[in-house]
Amino acid sequence: MTNSLPTSLPLSKLVTEMQESATLKMAKMARELKAQGKDVIDLSLGEPDFDTPVHIKEAAKKALDDGYTKYTPVNGLLELRQAIVNKLARENDLHYTVNQIVVSNGAKQSVYNLCMALLDPGDEVILPAPYWVSYAEIVKMAGGVPVIANSSIEQDFKSTPEEIEALITDRTKFILYSSPCNPSGSVFSFDELQALALMLQAHEHVLVVSDEIYEHINFTDRHYTIASMEGMKDRTVIINGMSKGYAMTGWRLGYIAGPDWVADACTKIQGQVTSGASSFGQKAAAVALESDHTPTKDMVKAFHQRRDLIINLLEQIPLLLVNRPQGAFYIFPDVSAYFGRTSTGGYHVKDADDMSLYLLAEARVSTVSGVAFGNEKCIRLSYATSDEKLKDAAERISKALSILI
C-alpha cells in the first residue's frame, strides 16, 4: 500500500467562490511581463506614484526611537484618534468623540469590520455601480447580498436617489459608495447628497457607509459628506485613511467615524482579527493629519494636470467615450463601441474583460476591466504616473484600437 500524502485538501466554499481582486490581478500580470523584459506601462495601479512626505517618514522613525514598538489599543492610539477628531472638525465641520473613531489596518479593513459587524446572512447592501472592486466580495464574505444600482457614463456614473430607493427592501442594511469614486472619479455634489439624505428620511432602517478615502484628491471647490446633511450624522459611517491623500498606501492605516454602537462593534471584530494598527505608523499618521498639507496640495495639483492631459489625449480616439472625473486619479472611458471587433492580428474583443487583456497584449498598457467594478462597458485607467508615460500609453492605446475592425 502506498502512503502518499495529497498535494492539497479542499479549500473552503468561501474562498473557492470568492473573486480575486481584479486590480491586483492586472497589476500582477503587468509586473510579470515587466520581469520578462517587456516594456509595459502600468495604468492598473490604485496608488499615488509619489513617495510619503519626508516629515511623515521622520515622525515614524522618531516614534521607533521613542519606543513605540508595542501593541496599541485595538481602536488606535488616543493621540491619533484625537487627531482624527480634530481633522473632522476642522475640515468637515463634523464633531465626533474619540470613542467614535476606530483606526484600522487600512480602509479595506474598515469595510471588512463594518460588514462583519452589521450583516447577517441575507442582509442586503446597496452598491451604486461602478463600485470599488472589494465592496461586493467583502459583503458576500460577511454573508450579505450586494444589490447593484446601475449607472452609465451619460449620468456621470451617479445613481439617482430614485434609482437607489427602488432597491430598498426590509433587508437593506446600508448603502455603500465612495465619493470621490473609485473607479469613475465622479464626485457627489452637495445637492446630490442632500437629495439622497432627503430620500433616506423615509427609510429609517437604512444606514450609509460613505467611503471618503479620496477626499483630498478632489478638483471641485470642496469635499462634501452625507454625514453633514440634516439628520444623517447618526446614520452614517465615514470611512477614510492615510493611503491616498498622504501617499501612504504601504503603511496600512485607515479609520472610521460613526455612531458609538458601530464603533464598539468594529473594535470587537478587529480585536479578534488583527488588533490595533502599527504603533509607529499611527504616531506618524497623527503628525500627517496635524501638519501642513502642502505636499498633499502639490500632489493634487499634479493629478489635476494629468487628468486634463489624459482626457485631451483620449478624447481624440474615435469611438471612445471619455468621462470628466472630478476627483481620485482614475478615468473610466466607455469602450463598448469596439465590442464585436477583431484586430488585424486576429484578437477578438467581445467585452470589457477582453479589451483590458487586448490592451495589455497589443499595446502593453495595463488597465482594469469595468466588469469587476460592476460596469460592463468601461475600463479603468489610473493616471497616477508621469506625463511621459501617459502620453506614451495614450498613443499605444490609440494605435491598438485603430486596428480593431
Ligand X SMILES: Cc1ncc(COP(=O)(O)O)c(C=O)c1O
The nearer residue to ligand X, 72 or 243, going by C-beta atoms, is 243
46 binds ligand X (CB under 6 A): yes
Contacts 24+ apart (CB under 8 A), 296-300: 296/53, 296/216, 296/245, 296/246, 299/48, 299/50, 299/217, 299/247, 300/216, 300/217, 300/218, 300/219
The nearer residue to ligand X, 336 or 356, going by C-beta atoms, is 356
Asked if residues 103 and 254 have their Cβ atoms less than 8 Å apart, the reply is: yes
Grid coordinates representing 331?
478615468
The nearer residue to ligand X, 241 or 364, going by C-beta atoms, is 241
| Among the residue ranges 100-108, 193-201, 277-285, 289-297, the one whose residues contact ligand X (CB under 6 A) | 100-108
Q: Grid coordinates 486576429 are at which residue?
A: 346
The nearer residue to ligand X, 150 or 249, going by C-beta atoms, is 249
Residues numbered 185-224 forming contacts with ligand X, rule: CB under 6 A: 211, 213
Shortest Å distance, C-beta 305 to ligand X: 21
| Among the residue ranges 88-96, 101-109, 200-208, 311-319, the one whose residues contact ligand X (CB under 6 A) | 101-109
- The site string for ligand X over 53-92 (x = CB under 6 A, - otherwise) reads ----------------------------------------
Shortest Å distance, C-beta 256 to ligand X: 11
Residues numbered 264-293 forming contacts with ligand X, rule: CB under 6 A: none
- The values of phi and psi at residue 52, to 5°, are -60, 135
User: 139-172 b/e with 16+ CB inside 10 Å = b?
Assistant: bbbbebbbbbbebebeebbbbbbeebbebbeeeb
Q: By rule CB under 6 A, what count of residues binds ligand X?
A: 13
| Among the residue ranges 166-174, 197-205, 241-249, 287-295, the one whose residues contact ligand X (CB under 6 A) | 241-249
The nearer residue to ligand X, 132 or 338, going by C-beta atoms, is 132
User: How many CB atoms are closer than 10 A to CB 339?
Assistant: 16
Q: Grid coordinates 446600508 are at which residue?
A: 174
Asked if residues 335 and 379 have their Cβ atoms less than 8 Å apart, the reply is: yes
Q: Residues 76, 241, 258, 374: which binds ligand X (CB under 6 A)?
A: 241
Q: Residues 243, 336, 366, 369: which binds ligand X (CB under 6 A)?
A: 243
Shortest Å distance, C-beta 2 to ligand X: 47
Shortest Å distance, C-beta 5 to ligand X: 37
Chain-centroid distance of CA 381 in Å reads: 13
Tell me how many helices (H) and strands (E) the chain has: 13, 14
Distance CA 221, CA 223 (A): 7
Distance from the first to the final alpha carbon of the chain: 61
Shortest Å distance, C-beta 110 to ligand X: 8
User: How many CB atoms are closer than 10 A to CB 1?
Assistant: 2
Binding site for ligand X (CB under 6 A): 46, 106-108, 132, 178, 182, 211, 213, 241, 243, 249, 254
